[in-house]
Amino acid sequence: MLKLSDTFLEGRRLETMVENQTSYTLKNAAMHVFETHEQAEKVLLQFNQPVLASMIEGKKVMHLRDYESFDFLPGESLVLPANETMCIDFPEAKSKNPTRCLAMAISEDKIKNVLQFMNESMTRDDEKEWSLMDYNFHFVNDQGIFQILQRLLFLFSENHPSKDFFVDNMLRELIIRILQTNERKIYTSSQIAINSNNRLSFVIRYIRENLHEPLNVEDLSKKACMSQSHFHRIFKNELGISPIEFINNERIKLATGLLQDPGLNIKDVYMQCGFESRSYFNRVFKHRQQLSPGEYQSQLKTIRY
């Protein structure tokens, strides 16, 4: 979870109990920290640049144009286009338990420069160009994005003569990681039809349909009609993770569902998910879920009974 420093909390001024704003403005971005100390409804907020909003503490209920309302919680972020009006409820905000959110407005010129860099340096499948997502993208921060956001909270509030330069470098990495996260969500969402004419899409569908079978980069690259090195580079450029990391992520998603079946033991689960050994399954599962398969099953039994 993102944390505000004691220095920030001691130095900022509280002038209103609803969406009190502390702002820092640099060349290519402005960072705003909003704090709400009492319950409120239908608070409107808008930025004239694309914005990344990330929850720090508490809970918001977001109402966006053409979308169903949803809870916005710590550890989550939301990318919004310029001039998008947010209507926000604060159902749990209190003086001793405020709702806090980071909103970072990023200049369109900076985003265009990063996209140009990506299109020149990070080749995609079928020579597609990188571009911004055209919808409101709501996602859970991965470790990389979390660490960048925490670093940016420090850099914006630091009194350093070179902080514009420091922030600029962090913004480029942040934009790249968010676009890769967006691609990963598109490729892995069962609700989105994958274009079979796209080689990477074909391979990803093959992976998802054959998780119980042995899968390796050599065979997958052949199915994509690419060399191993080119396939690995394209895959990682587009999704931000390696093919093996993607396969393990998909297998753990399948495993979490299978472990909910009381008729299956752990050996049944890891074999159906394509893991060669229980020790490797345990290691990968614990790395992603922060608990072992056995502990996960025990939690489910406790909830069930």
* DSSP class per residue in 90-103: ESS-BTTB-EEEEE
Q: Please give the CATH architecture assigned to the domain spanning 6-188.
A: Sandwich (2.60)
Task: Determine how many CB atoms are found less than 10 A away from the CB of residue 71.
Answer: 12
Task: List the strands of the sheet with 51-57, edge to edge.
Answer: 20-25, 29-36, 99-106, 51-57, 76-80, 137-140
Task: Determine how many CB atoms are found less than 10 A away from the CB of residue 237.
Answer: 18
- Tell me, what's the pLDDT at 197? 54
- Tell me, what's the pLDDT at 189? 60
d(CA 44, CA 48): 14
Helix 293-304 and helix 278-289, axial crossing angle in degrees, nearest 10: 60
Do the strands 86-90 and 40-45 form a parallel or antiparallel pair, or are they unpaired?
antiparallel
- Tell me, what's the pLDDT at 271? 93
Query: Where exactly are the structural domains of the chain?
Result: 6-188, 199-304
d(CA 183, CA 276): 29
- Tell me, what's the pLDDT at 14? 87
CATH topology of domain 199-304: Arc Repressor Mutant, subunit A (1.10.10)
- Tell me, what's the pLDDT at 299? 77
**C-beta separation of 300 from 260 below 8 A:** yes
pLDDT tens across the length of the chain (305 residues): 788 988 888 888 889 999 999 999 999 999 999 999 999 999 999 999 999 999 999 999 999 987 889 999 999 999 999 999 999 999 999 999 999 999 999 999 999 999 999 999 988 876 778 888 766 889 989 889 999 999 999 999 988 999 999 999 999 999 999 999 888 877 766 444 445 557 888 898 899 899 999 999 999 999 988 899 989 988 988 888 899 999 998 999 899 889 888 888 999 999 999 998 999 999 999 988 888 998 888 877 665 55
pTM of the predicted structure, to 2 decimals: 0.74
Q: For residue 31, which of 160, 138, 161, 149 has the smallest C-alpha distance? A: 149
In the chain, DSSP finds a helix count (H) and a strand count (E) of: 11, 10
- Tell me, what's the pLDDT at 191? 40
